[in-house]
Amino acid sequence: MSKAARFDYGWVVVGAGALMTCVGFGTMLSLAVFLQPISDAMGWSRAGISAAATLDFLCMGFAAFAWGALSDRFGTRIVVLAGSLLLGLGLVTASQAQTLWQFQLCFGVLIGIAAGSFYAPMMALASAWIDKHRSLAVALVSAGMGVSPLTVAPSASWLITAYDWRFAMLVIGIAAWVLLIPASFLVRPAPQGSTVAMPTAAGAPQTEWTVAQALRTPQFITLALAHFACCAAHSGPIFHMVSYAMVCGIAPLTAVTVYSLAGFSGLGGRLLLGVLADRLGAKPVLVGGLLVQALSIATYLAVAQLGQFYALSVVFGLAYGGVMPLYAVLVREFFGARIMGTVFGAVSAFASLGMALGPWAGGYVFDTFHGYTWLHAGSFAIGLAAVAVALSFSTKRQPSLDLGRAAA
């Protein structure tokens, strides 16, 4: 295979990854649209239904580490194929749930495990295929998450309005199978020549890390904590965005457009910050994006009108969407391609724990205080903590010293 052919097919892999993250995360995050219809139809509490999203992120976190390790050992195709089968199964069975615990098991556990199979393995594979525009490549894979509010959420809302929540979830599950199973067969391992380690941003030579060594470094701990705080900050405001807009008097279908606009802006943010990271470096762009995210969350305390929601959705979406791929870039630059699936899977596991907090916390806050003020105030504080942690990330390394400490 020629170098040009390798380069071209790398973007096919990127496109397949974008589709997988779009459908995988879109179906999981569509619970925000299903929240009120399911509560009204079944009489279940918002906190109980939101707990399914919490389970999603918890299961996705633990699964992401395992899926990442499996992709490093057995290849990415078999991993994403298994995840595609499991995703559709979770949606189809959740659509038939008769009790809250059944719904939490099917939607929360099965879909969470399935979603974990797409993000870390495909981000690692994209970074192995594409060298010159690596930040843009991983941003495009992550961009599927930004497209999902423009596709899955409006489709779910329309189906719920036209039929009911059960039919809507069943159709989305079948569509997931139709789209993702064929896409899995487009996934190919990167040519070995494209995974040659590159020097770090600090100019230090690349070290052949083992997983055990990598997981003990201050850099891994810093990235894991920053990703955790980043996701803990934005997950609640994102998941409860539709409900909060409705509390402010905005009609349900219009409230979904607020959520969709944030997702569209997140797509733009991934591309914009990805290009900036290729030019300026991933760390400064990450820190700036996290600061804008925190300030945007604080602004939710002052918005109530539709126009204000739209304006804030643009800024908030740019920020939270743009920072997400940059953690993968930093993992790839510091630890290399050979163990990236495992290491980034571990970082993603911490991120999933952060994502798990928001939906449950928002449901608890609403059920307790009948509003979302404390959700946004707490999320703002956590967002500032993410900025502080990201600032402490060091790209400098002393290979012999780091390896000696790791082996101790």
Residue (of 265, 267, 289) closest to 276 by Cα position: 289
Asked whether residue 199 carries a pLDDT value surpassing 60, the answer given is no
List pLDDT tens digits, range 153-178: 788 888 998 888 999 999 999 999 99
| pLDDT tier for residue 148 given thresholds of 50, 70 and 90 | low
Question: What torsion, rounded to 10 degrees, do the Cα atoms 60, 61, 64, 69 define?
Answer: -150
Task: Measure the CA–CA gap between 401 and 216, rounded to whole angstroms.
Answer: 13
Name the fold adopted by 3-407: Growth Hormone; Chain: A; (1.20.1250)
Residue (of 142, 151, 160, 122) closest to 27 by Cα position: 151
DSSP 121-183: HHHHHHHHH-STTHHHHHHHHHHHHHHHHHHHHHHHHHHHHHS-HHHHHHHHHHHHHHHHHHH
Q: Which of 81-90, 204-213, 267-276, 396-405 has the highest mean pLDDT?
A: 81-90
Residue 171's alpha-carbon distances to 30, 110, 243, 389, in angstroms, are: 13, 17, 23, 42
Task: Measure the CA–CA gap between 340 and 158, rounded to whole angstroms.
Answer: 39
Using a pLDDT cut of 70, give the percent of the chain over it: 89
| pLDDT tier for residue 205 given thresholds of 50, 70 and 90 | very low
The token pair that represents 157 in the structure block: 């809302």
Residue 39: per-residue pLDDT = 86
Q: Which of 51-65, 290-304, 360-374 has the highest mean pLDDT?
A: 290-304
Residue 187's alpha-carbon distances to 14, 120, 173, 337, in angstroms, are: 9, 14, 21, 17
List pLDDT tens digits, range 48-84: 888 888 788 788 878 887 888 888 788 889 999 999 9
Residue 141's alpha-carbon distances to 54, 221, 237, 270, in angstroms, are: 23, 24, 23, 9
| pLDDT tier for residue 198 given thresholds of 50, 70 and 90 | very low
- Tell me the CB-side half-sphere exposure of residue 270, using CA atoms within 13 A: 25
Residue (of 72, 15, 82, 20) closest to 189 by Cα position: 72
- Residue-range domain boundaries for the chain: 3-407
Task: Measure the CA–CA gap between 1 and 188, rounded to whole angstroms.
Answer: 13
4 contacts: CB under 8 Å, gap ≥ 6: none
Residue 197: per-residue pLDDT = 42
Proportion of the chain in helix, strand, coil states, percent, rounded to 5: 80, 0, 20
- Ramachandran class of 208: left when φ > 0, alpha when ψ lies in -120 to 50, beta otherwise: beta
Residue 397: per-residue pLDDT = 54
Task: Measure the CA–CA gap between 193 and 7, rounded to whole angstroms.
Answer: 11
Looking up tokens 């487009």 gives: 186
Asked whether residue 2 carries a pLDDT value surpassing 60, the answer given is no
